[in-house]
Structure 1
């Protein structure tokens, strides 16, 4: 029996090396590269980790059998081991289960959100957008929807639920709508991507959210406290939550940065002339692109979904400026207000717009475009 335990010890050492390589590859200066990284969590790597945990479980059972059951060990240590082994195996089982539980989350911060991204973030076209490929049909009017994660449909399992795809259906066969939404994008980035897109638009739809001013606010040193993920963790708990699925899932079910913290940042940014003027300068690049193409431009202001009036008040200077530049500002507040609070967002941990909100945006936008003969 002693030889069995010794061989188990050797196997545990080998499994330890594999453990560090799989869960802490940075220790070996290794990084796993795969399509969708780092937003997506690769299935092949998760399957490999699953087999690893199964091997660990088998080795634990083997040690328990030869070290306690077969040797008929008694005493305090044997009793503690007998109680601890089932607990450890249950934790391993839960860790395996939560490797395959998708849950959308703002900013793709959690491991569950990376699983969600891997499963649902499709199709991806050749330009890297979550959208169809560019059509060779030049007879249709082209609508470019530019924006951030709200345009891209973060939290929506199907692109058919997005306002851009719904808009295309409502406009009819004479139109084709391309979605240039990118999670985390801001106004400056959106202007660059519009200019780089190979199809010139007949219509531009700018989707605007109050956090579009965030980059400029940070550059102008407007304080945003507590926004960094995992900032409230310390010591060994940090590495445990960052590297393992079960504790990571539990961590993200708990509240962290409050809305009030981010609201203070937004309010300060929009009421600081230096910040607002810099932001309007970024927006002027998009307006200039509109002018160069002769396209008609619409801006859809999506408010904070549980604080409609507040966010509309913050972004009013931007809406007024755009109207002065001849941009059609589309107010979707009333459509969103008619939707019950809990049905406005895609999930508990994800405040992005639900399919119902996207439908309301598409309806309002189509109405405005038809009214202005587009």
Structure 2
């Protein structure tokens, strides 16, 4: 049987169509949210803005709380507050309260009369030379001085004479030594060299008003200084940093600068050499003790000066002992006798005594062996 004719193809007949793989992928991508990108990005921007508002609000609250704390609590008092420095100078800096003492050859020392007990058998005598740090400027009680504390710790068998004088330097110590050698007949001489002693500088804030006032004025001219306690605290700390760096530079140049800048140090070197020679002639040991600057003890910047002093002393065979390690890492203002006065307070003298006592015990043992 013959097959029938093949039906005519209609133009309406559409052959079955299968999309190829790339077309499938494009269709799938068209159904994904990527096609709705502008709406999604808008949501992200809204979330980001919300997070920024939250962060800004938290920061504002934190700053507000800090501002309130600095207004209520005494946290914003700057170390270079001129009014506070001079108010303390008038009311809380006792200078040398105890003005009693003993006269030796026309010089007055803040000490008791040299009694016969100082010359009792078995008693050793130590003569201390130094400036206001040694004499105990600002201390109400002599017994708080590091020299007296050492005497207490190493007694019995020890007598100490404190020949410290405020504002003195080694050139004057030589005169004091000449006066006291025949009267006190010490078994050893200890010169307490404060880093100021080789310079023409004053260390207490009250003595540096000319340097402080322009720094303070610049701080007070900074934005919102008079309105924000928080910013005032910040600007004050920057001012203090500027002052200490300037002071550090002046101190460094006094020991390590040009010959003209070092003239005072060279003069005091001659005096220390003369003290050493006088002690040698008397047949007694001479010890040089370094007392640090009570400034920025957490970031102490005067080690190079101490190295210079030790180098000089080594050239003359003068033994040196530094009190500095005992003070490092402390808050310097906690050991000041007053807010405007960097002389050591009772706590500062206690620290010095604890550091010095073992070294003097060794010195006394050396004297015993030599005799």
Greater CA radius of gyration, 1 or 2? 2
Q: 1:188 matched to which residue of 2? A: 171
Corresponding residue to 1:157 among 140, 149, 153: 140
Matched, 1:370 2:353: no
Q: Residue 110 and residue 339 in structure 1: after superposition, are their counterparts in 2 closer, same or farther (change >3 A)?
A: closer
Corresponding residue to 1:174 among 151, 154, 157: 157
Between the aligned partners of 1:199 and 1:295, the Cα distance in structure 2 is: 13
Matched, 1:202 2:187: yes
Q: 2:103 matched to which residue of 1? A: 126
The within-5 A match list for 1:31-70 is none
Between the aligned partners of 2:212 and 2:342, the Cα distance in structure 1 is: 21
User: Bigger relative contact order, structure 1 or 2, given CA contacts below 8 A and separation 6+?
Assistant: 2
Q: 1:211 matched to which residue of 2? A: 196
Q: 2:128 matched to which residue of 1? A: 145
Between the aligned partners of 1:291 and 1:162, the Cα distance in structure 2 is: 28
Q: 2:325 matched to which residue of 1? A: 334
Shift of 1:110: 4.3
Q: Residue 227 and residue 160 in structure 1: after superposition, are their counterparts in 2 closer, same or farther (change >3 A)?
A: closer
Q: 2:302 matched to which residue of 1? A: 311
Q: May I ask how many residue pairs the two structures share in their alignment?
A: 239
The within-5 A match list for 1:284-299 is 284-299=273-288
TM-score of the two chains, using structure 2 as the length reference: 0.57
Shift of 1:335: 1.3
The farther-off stretch of 130-139 and 153-162 is 130-139
Give the match's secondary structure for 2:103: coil
Shift of 1:324: 3.5
Shift of 1:323: 3.1
Structure 2, unmatched stretches of 5+, are 1-84, 214-238, 367-371
Residues 290 and 297 of structure 1 are in contact (CA less than 8 Å); yes or no, is this contact kept in structure 2? yes
Give the match's secondary structure for 1:305: coil
Between the aligned partners of 1:270 and 1:230, the Cα distance in structure 2 is: 22
Matched, 1:282 2:267: no
Structure 1, unmatched stretches of 5+, are 1-104, 219-225, 234-254
Give the match's secondary structure for 1:330: strand
The farther-off stretch of 163-172 and 124-133 is 124-133
Between the aligned partners of 2:281 and 2:112, the Cα distance in structure 1 is: 26
Q: 1:5 matched to which residue of 2? A: none
**Deviation digits for residues 49-72 of structure 1, max 9, x if unmatched?**
xxxxxxxxxxxxxxxxxxxxxxxx
Give the match's secondary structure for 2:270: helix
Residues 273 and 316 of structure 2 are in contact (CA less than 8 Å); yes or no, is this contact kept in structure 1? no
